[in-house]
């Protein structure tokens, strides 16, 4: 039919005050075109709207919320902005001023009971934020992604059911929210809905677990060293140490304990955290020589607050400490150190006696021609077998559940003379076709599993113990976590500088200085494969 006589004729541009769906069609006489529909977004929503806080696992399971912030300089209208992954919610027409916050609640009544009734909040949303972590996506009125990321429940123990929220360190920052390093726990239990709680506690990284002794020798005791990385003193009195995520308050540091600028605090098991009569020792604990996770949390008045450090460490050798070592990428590894230095700067990493000297992880079209070369960098012969345990050394891909696992010979254990080498290969035939015959160097094939072409690990370990159930504890002697790109920024903001030529371009990774720390791209270069050779 024709245009309705009640229709309003409009001439000139159409101004929208908020994001709006518009439907239109043309008419000629009595003939109408098909209907065309589109959604028009208004204002700099995509540039200004950011997720600033997630209360994904509150003490009250109905008190979840997500906090949004306007990090821009203009008021924005959130009409038809929507959460589409993790939770589902489409915003009504609501304005958010520059610097302001808006909460989105799962249960409006539970939110008001938990956090107060005077906060700017909309909802309820459908679904629940997963306690185990999941993907969350926020889209603008046109359906375009504003932010999309996956959070994990193991980032901070206190955000996983203990009443603290995940809080973005810098909501206006450009870093990916997929990374733990851009998040911190809220300063207090209950989160910080509708306000900024930064500056209440020391900045993340201000106090670190710097060095530990978990397998003391005769006459020694376990110890934990904390370090103040800042240029100002930090009062850690009332802070908590623990070796279990289910009880983060096993040991409370004595009131008034201050770590000076750039200083250290050493806590010994037989004097503090393992001594039941110490006033701060709520549950005595010791460090496991098999490896475990340590937790450091700020506290006050006997309660946890939001500064949080989680430090995992692997199995220890007798009387060998494990501590932080900064690599050329800016990241820190927590690895065996050459000398124990309680109360002082950490020593260099412990290297050898056997190291990984070459890695061919992506031989391109030669498929199964992968190999790893081991080298004895010590001045003494090394037998790759533990007589006391009756077990050989092991090569693996370094994971907890390795896809590559090769036990070195046990019936006739291998001994490497100083400068001696072993080649570990994926497939003997493919290796020989690709590189020819390598004389005077033992060659062992690992069989199932491949070195990851997208970046992975290679690890040589020796046994240090066997549990009652037969499980073997392995201590890492040398590990290399390589990457396949020259600029693969990690969550800490550092860049990977691993040589690109080793990624399917016919080159292998060669260790530059065999006796220097190996898990650092600065000590590797890409060069033609030379299995059986030591040369740089």
Residues 6+ apart with CB under 8 A from 439: 532
The domain limits of the chain are 45-185, 207-336, 354-527
How far is Cα of residue 5 from the mean position of the Cα atoms in its chain?
65
Q: Is the pLDDT of residue 170 over 70?
A: yes
Determine the pLDDT at residue 324. Answer: 98
Are 45-185 and 207-336 equal in CATH topology?
Answer: yes
SS3 333: strand
Q: Is the pLDDT of residue 491 over 50?
A: no
Q: Is the pLDDT of residue 12 over 80?
A: no
Q: Is the pLDDT of residue 489 over 50?
A: no
Nearest to 186 by CA among 207, 156, 206, 208: 156
Instruction: Say what the pTM is.
Output: 0.84
Radius of gyration from C-alpha coordinates of the chain: 29
* 470 backbone φψ class: left, alpha, beta (φ>0; ψ -120 to 50): left
What is the distance between the alpha carbons of residues 265 and 212, in angstroms, rounded to a whole number?
A: 11
Nearest to 442 by CA among 466, 476, 465, 408: 408
Domain 45-185: give its CATH superfamily: Lamin Tail domain (2.60.40.1260)
Average pLDDT over residues 376-388: 97
Tell me the pLDDT tens digit for each residue of 46-88.
999 999 999 999 999 999 999 999 999 999 999 999 999 999 9
Say how many C-beta atoms besides its own lie within 10 A of residue 429's C-beta. Answer: 11
- 128, exposed or middle or buried, with CB in 10 Å at 0-12, 13-18, 19+? middle
- For the residues of 385-445, what is the DSSP string, one character each? EETTTTEE-EEE-SSSS-S-EEEPPSSS--EEPTT-EEEEES-HHHHHHHH---TTS-EEE
Q: Is the pLDDT of residue 316 over 80?
A: yes
What is the distance between the alpha carbons of residues 227 and 45, in angstroms, rounded to a whole number?
A: 42
List residues bridging with 264 in a β-sheet. 227
Residues 6+ apart with CB under 8 A from 192: 53, 67, 165, 167, 186
| Beta strands across the sheet bearing 354-360 | 443-445, 421-425, 371-376, 354-360, 508-511, 524-527
Q: Is the pLDDT of residue 41 over 60?
A: no
What class does CATH assign to 207-336?
Answer: mainly beta
Give the tokens for residue 341.
Answer: 């230095």
List residues bridging with 175 in a β-sheet. none
Determine the pLDDT at residue 249. Answer: 97
């Amino acid at each position: 039919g024709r245009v309705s006589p009640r229709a309003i004729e409009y001439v000139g541009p159409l101004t929208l005050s908020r994001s709006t769906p518009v439907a239109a069609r043309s008419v000629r006489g009595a003939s109408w075109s098909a209907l065309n529909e589109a959604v028009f977004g208004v204002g700099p929503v995509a540039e200004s709207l950011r997720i600033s806080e997630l209360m994904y696992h509150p003490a009250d399971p109905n008190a979840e919320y997500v906090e949004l912030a306007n990090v821009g300089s203009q008021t924005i209208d959130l009409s038809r902005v929507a959460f589409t992954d993790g939770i589902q919610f489409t915003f009504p027409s609501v304005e958010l001023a520059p610097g302001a916050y808006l909460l989105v609640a799962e249960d409006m009544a539970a939110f008001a009971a938990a956090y107060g009734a005077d906060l700017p909040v909309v909802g309820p949303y459908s679904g629940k934020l997963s306690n185990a972590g999941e993907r969350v996506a926020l889209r603008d009125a046109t359906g375009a992604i504003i932010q999309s990321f996956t959070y994990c429940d193991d980032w901070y123990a206190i955000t996983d059911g203990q009443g603290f929220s995940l809080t973005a360190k810098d909501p206006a920052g450009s870093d990916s929210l997929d990374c733990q390093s851009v998040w911190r726990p809220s300063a207090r239990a209950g989160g910080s809905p509708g306000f900024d709680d930064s500056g209440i506690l020391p900045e993340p990284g201000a106090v670190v677990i710097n060095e530990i002794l978990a397998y003391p020798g005769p006459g020694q005791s376990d110890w934990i060293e904390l370090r103040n990385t800042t240029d100002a003193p930090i009062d850690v009195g009332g802070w908590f140490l623990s070796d279990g995520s289910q009880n983060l308050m096993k040991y409370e540091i004595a009131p008034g304990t201050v770590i000076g600028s750039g200083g250290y605090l050493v806590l010994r098991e037989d004097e503090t955290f393992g001594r039941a009569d110490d006033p701060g020792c709520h549950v005595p604990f010791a460090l496991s020589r098999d490896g475990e996770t340590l937790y450091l949390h700020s506290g006050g008045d006997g309660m946890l607050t939001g500064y949080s450090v989680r430090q995992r460490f692997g199995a220890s050798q007798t009387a060998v400490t494990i501590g932080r070592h900064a690599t050329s990428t800016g990241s820190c590894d927590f690895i065996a150190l050459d000398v124990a230095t309680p109360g002082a700067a950490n020593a260099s990493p412990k290297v050898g006696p056997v190291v990984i000297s070459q890695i061919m992880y992506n031989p391109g079209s030669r498929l199964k021609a992968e190999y790893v070369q081991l080298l004895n960098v010590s001045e003494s012969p090394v037998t790759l077998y533990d007589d006391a345990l009756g077990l050989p050394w092991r090569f693996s891909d370094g994971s907890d559940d390795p896809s590559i696992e090769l036990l070195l010979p046990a019936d006739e254990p291998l001994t490497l003379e100083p400068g001696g080498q072993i080649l570990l290969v994926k497939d003997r035939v493919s290796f020989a076709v690709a590189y020819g015959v390598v004389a005077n160097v033992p060659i062992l094939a690992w069989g199932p599993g491949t070195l990851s072409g997208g970046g992975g690990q290679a690890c040589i370990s020796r046994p240090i113990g066997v549990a009652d159930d037969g499980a073997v504890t392995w201590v890492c002697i040398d590990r290399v976590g390589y990457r396949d790109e020259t600029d693969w920024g990690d969550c800490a903001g550092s860049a990977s500088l691993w040589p690109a030529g080793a990624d399917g371009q016919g080159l292998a990774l060669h260790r530059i200085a065999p006796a220097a720390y190996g898990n650092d791209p600065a000590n590797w270069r890409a060069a033609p494969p030379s299995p059986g050779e030591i040369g740089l």
